[in-house]
Amino acid sequence: MVFPFKSIKDFNVELTDEMELFRKTVREFVDNELMPKVVEVEKTGVIPEELIQKGVELGFTGVGIPEEYDGQGGGTLMTAILMEELSRGMPAYGTAILVNGLFTYPVLKYGTEEQKRKYIPPIAKGEVFAAHANTEPAAGSDVAGIQATAEKKGDKWVINGRKIFITGASKAKFLLVSARTSQPPEKRKRWWGITTFIVETDWPGVKIGSKFDVIGLSGEHPDEVILDNVEVPEENVVGPVNEGFKILLDTYDHSRVGIAAQAVGIAQGAFEKAFNYALQRTAFNRQIIAFQAVSFKLADMITEIQAARLLTYWAATLADQDREEAIFAASMAKTFATEVAEKVANLAIKIHGGVGVDRETGVEHYLRDAIITTIYEGTNDIQRLTTIRQLLKRALGIDVLTM
């Protein structure tokens, strides 16, 4: 019985030699370039520009983007491998490099050829960065609740609104912005009437406001974006007018795998530090790994990490196959992997004891970073709601909006 899937073949994950070679390249970069800078970035809250440029030179910004648009190619699984390895060393760096995907994915899938040719290549080559501006003070998990407006005036749309917690906005040249262009015709169709636009940050009326001082992901704290009578040309509308809600949800269904991968990387990084410390630290004339109180924690940590990794790679594989089941798998992977990351990071601190809460040790940030992953890209409660909705849809053929 494999319900709600159709066959045991649905649980297949294929990894290639090319992927392993790529993973080793990223891991070497993390060990040699990122790890030595972690404490500095945690203190300053700034990722050195030279680190970003080294990632650009290695082609990281082009992963997941087709070669015809100057990308490196590779799909969701390759991108997940990249995010996992980067996050093993510095989760904020993984976010800084791969947040572009929240812009490139919807443009590549729903944009016009002109939009793709104009906006995707400079992102793929790392010449510019992009961000995704949707969250508002009264609309986070409730995407249909956004209040920013876009009014048609002649051949332009005029956008007004305030977006918050926008990752990467301070360095972005391009934004994917959501705004309400029509009021929904009825309560059950609250989603209708939202449209997505490409906005350039140097246009009049676009202002990047204050940063939010969140507890984790130091070096890539999110920003406020203010849109004050921003004029957007008709050719910058992405997808059908009034149907942007579907574009937004599809984007999150896809990007959610990346957050699961980030969580796996966080958990792996925390585990490696805890394991190495347990081998080196002695107490009562013994290495502390000899004590069951420590060794059993490590055993549980690596077991759950492997389970989270398999679930994440499987979700990525389904996404690359463009399977409908990918939505289901991505929500489960995001929920499980992020909660594993939080648990593993907490245990890693406990294994370190007193030094575990010292920033200089470089372990406590994993817990702060893990907490962020349980919230952004859709809270884990929203993922559980998505999972049960998909389950009911498959079992009963119904799609419920509320539970």
93 residue type, one letter: Y
- The amino acid occupying position 111 is G
Instruction: List beta partners, residue 286.
Output: 283
Superfamily of 129-243 according to CATH: Butyryl-CoA Dehydrogenase, subunit A, domain 2 (2.40.110.10)
pLDDT (0 to 100) of residue 386? 87
> Which helix (H) or strand (E) covers residue 185, if one does?
none
**Is the Cα dihedral 349, 352, 353, 358 positive or negative?**
negative
Whole-angstrom distance, CA of residue 349 vs CA of residue 367? 8
Report the C-alpha gap between 112 and 104 in whole angstroms.
12
C-alpha to C-alpha distance for 22 and 367, rounded to whole angstroms: 27
Arch. (CATH architecture) of 246-396: Up-down Bundle (1.20)
Point out the residues that are catalytic: 377
**Considering only CA atoms, which of 383, 27, 342, 35 is closest in space to residue 216?**
342
In the numeric block, the tokens 């070497």 are attached to 28
**Among the listed residues 370, 369, 256, 273, the one whose alpha carbon sits nearest the alpha carbon of residue 316:** 256
Q: Which two tokens stand for residue 89?
A: 């060393």
Parallel, antiparallel or unpaired: strands 156-166 and 206-211? unpaired
pLDDT of residue 381: 92
Question: Which residue type sits at 228?
Answer: D
At residue 402, the pLDDT reads 43
Please, are residues 391 and 327 in contact by the beta-carbon 8 Å criterion? no
Domain boundaries, the chain: 8-124, 129-243, 246-396
Instruction: For the chain, 403 residues long, give each residue's pLDDT as a single digit of tens.
Output: 578 888 898 899 999 999 999 999 999 999 999 999 999 999 999 999 999 999 999 999 999 999 999 999 999 999 999 999 999 999 999 999 999 999 999 999 999 999 999 999 999 999 999 999 999 999 888 899 999 999 999 999 999 999 999 999 999 999 999 999 999 888 788 889 999 999 999 999 999 999 999 999 999 999 999 999 999 999 999 999 999 999 999 999 999 999 999 999 999 999 999 999 999 999 999 999 999 999 999 999 999 999 999 999 999 999 999 998 999 899 999 999 999 999 999 999 999 999 999 999 999 999 999 999 999 988 999 999 888 888 888 788 776 554 4
Give the pLDDT confidence of 190-226 residue by residue, as tens digits.
Answer: 889 999 999 999 999 999 999 999 999 999 999 999 9
Measured distance CA(330)–CA(251) in Å, rounded: 12
CATH architecture of 8-124: Orthogonal Bundle (1.10)
> Helix or strand or coil: residue 35?
helix
Q: What is the pLDDT of residues 252-280, one digit of tens each?
A: 999 999 999 999 999 999 999 999 999 99
Question: What confidence score (pLDDT) does residue 396 get?
Answer: 81
